[in-house]
């Protein structure tokens, strides 16, 4: 979800009532190379309750140093990324590539856990490929090293996002550890979440792509499965006002020029939940200025499809 779960989007999702939100993946060495300051704190949402900062890296020492830095700045939870399948990440021996070198991965995990007092969690996949389904073994060793929770995406790295997530395979991880296990992958509704929990035996679910254009989805699933308060899903003018507020938050966060570009993907996802005419959709996504986009957004967002809000 890099480039998607920035602070404006996480803040919006959290306002609907999500139990936990996680920052974009942050490379430890890149983080250390930048001067710590207000911008970094704003990007990561340090100090925000119910929020985790996700770190990625390939070497133990920089990961530990980065963890100490962000914990010192107020991070409440640190999540280690061992699940990203992107080639630019795995080619650098980070993300899910660490599943190919479990001993090295555990040295990295131990370094981060020993560096901070805040809880450290782990996000990973079932394995590198079908010949290396080693998530249960890694989970056992990670638990022994002090990991407090583990999230499993129900695919291998080599599957990327193809096919369907195998929630039943997550059950092998659940049976291997005593810490909470969270199921991830293809969870796009309360029904899917319920099935994922039944098949995996997991303690909860993590939602990623399913929340695109539907920032209330996490809260709706929590209500349906765990009895949490039901979110008010905006309709009509309220939906258009929510989209405008999100758009303005992105402009303030990134600046007008960059913010307008970053916002386009979110506007597209919002319009996926609407009956926006093709010509109007095109006009919104190619608006020459933020002012023109703001003028068009209310009309483009008024016809919300009932199934998207359900």
pLDDT digits (tens, 9 = 90+) for 259-269: 999 999 999 99
Q: Which of 188, 157, 211 minimizes the C-alpha distance to 22?
A: 211
- Summarised one tens digit per residue, pLDDT across range 174-205 is 999 999 999 999 999 999 999 999 999 999 99
> Which region, left, alpha or beta, applies to residue 81 given φ > 0 means left and ψ of -120 to 50 means alpha?
beta
Q: How far is 262 from 209, CA to CA, in rounded Å?
A: 16
User: With contact defined as beta carbons under 8 Å apart, do 142 and 67 qualify?
Assistant: no
Provide the pLDDT for residue 29: 84
User: With contact defined as beta carbons under 8 Å apart, do 14 and 218 qualify?
Assistant: no
Provide the pLDDT for residue 93: 86
Only one residue has tokens 């990203």, namely 84
Provide the pLDDT for residue 33: 82
- First vs last C-alpha separation in the chain: 24
pLDDT at 278 over 60: yes
User: With contact defined as beta carbons under 8 Å apart, do 132 and 162 qualify?
Assistant: no
User: With contact defined as beta carbons under 8 Å apart, do 184 and 153 qualify?
Assistant: yes
SS3 content of the chain, % helix, strand, coil (to 5): 55, 10, 35
DSSP-assigned letter for residue 231: P
Q: How far is 272 from 281, CA to CA, in rounded Å?
A: 10
Residues with Cβ < 8 Å from 245, sequence gap 6 or more?
none
CA dihedral 268, 41, 204, 155 (to 10 degrees): 60
Q: Which of 157, 173, 145 minimizes the C-alpha distance to 90?
A: 157
DSSP-assigned letter for residue 288: S
> Which region, left, alpha or beta, applies to residue 255 given φ > 0 means left and ψ of -120 to 50 means alpha?
left
pLDDT at 87 over 60: yes
- Summarised one tens digit per residue, pLDDT across range 215-259 is 999 999 999 999 999 999 999 999 999 999 999 999 999 999 999
Q: Which of 76, 140, 70 minimizes the C-alpha distance to 105?
A: 140
Torsion 275-281-285-289 (CA) sign: negative
User: With contact defined as beta carbons under 8 Å apart, do 55 and 81 qualify?
Assistant: yes
Kindly report the number of other CB atoms within 10 A of residue 305's CB atom.
Answer: 12
Provide the pLDDT for residue 307: 44
Provide the pLDDT for residue 305: 57
Q: How far is 184 from 165, CA to CA, in rounded Å?
A: 8
- Summarised one tens digit per residue, pLDDT across range 20-66 is 999 988 888 888 887 555 455 567 778 788 889 999 999 999 999 99
DSSP-assigned letter for residue 304: B
Please provide residue 106's backbone torsions phi and psi, each rounded to the nearest 5 degrees.
-70, -35
Q: How far is 91 from 95, CA to CA, in rounded Å?
A: 9
CA dihedral 62, 110, 88, 135 (to 10 degrees): 180
Chain length of the chain: 310
- Summarised one tens digit per residue, pLDDT across range 107-154 is 999 999 999 999 999 999 999 999 999 999 999 999 999 999 999 999
Q: 136-140, 210-214, 301-305: lowest mean pLDDT where?
A: 301-305
Residues labelled catalytic: 84
Q: How far is 152 from 174, CA to CA, in rounded Å?
A: 10
pTM for this predicted structure: 0.91
Provide the pLDDT for residue 35: 53
Provide the pLDDT for residue 175: 98
pLDDT at 90 over 80: yes
């Amino acid at each position: 979800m890099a480039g998607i779960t920035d602070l404006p989007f996480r803040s919006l999702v959290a306002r609907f009532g999500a139990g936990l939100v996680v920052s974009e993946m942050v490379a430890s060495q890149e983080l250390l190379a930048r001067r710590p300051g207000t911008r970094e704190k704003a990007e990561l949402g340090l100090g925000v309750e119910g929020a985790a900062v996700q770190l990625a890296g390939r070497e133990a020492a920089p990961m530990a140093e980065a963890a100490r830095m962000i914990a010192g700045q107020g991070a409440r939870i640190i999540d280690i990324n061992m699940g990203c399948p992107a080639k630019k990440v795995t080619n650098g021996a980070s993300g899910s590539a660490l599943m190919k070198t479990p001993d090295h991965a555990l040295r990295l995990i131990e370094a981060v856990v020993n560096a901070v007092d805040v809880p450290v969690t782990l996000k990973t996949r079932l394995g590198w490929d079908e010949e290396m389904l080693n998530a249960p073994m890694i989970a056992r060793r990670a638990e022994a090293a002090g990991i407090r929770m583990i999230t499993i995406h129900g695919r291998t790295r080599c599957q990327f996002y193809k096919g369907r997530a195998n929630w039943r395979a997550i059950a092998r991880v659940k049976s291997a550890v005593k810490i909470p296990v969270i199921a991830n992958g293809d969870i796009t509704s309360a029904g899917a979440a319920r099935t994922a929990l039944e098949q995996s035996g997991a303690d909860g679910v993590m939602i990623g792509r399913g929340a695109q254009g539907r920032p209330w989805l996490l809260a709706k699933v929590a209500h349906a499965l765990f009895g949490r308060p039901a979110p008010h899903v905006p309709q009509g003018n309220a939906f258009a006002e929510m989209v405008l507020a999100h758009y303005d938050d992105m402009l303030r966060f990134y600046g007008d020029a960059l913010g307008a570009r970053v916002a386009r993907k979110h506007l597209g996802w919002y319009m996926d939940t609407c009956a926006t005419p093709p010509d109007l959709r095109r006009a919104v996504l190619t608006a020459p200025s933020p002012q023109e986009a703001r003028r068009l957004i209310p009309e483009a967002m008024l016809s919300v499809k009932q199934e998207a809000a359900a």
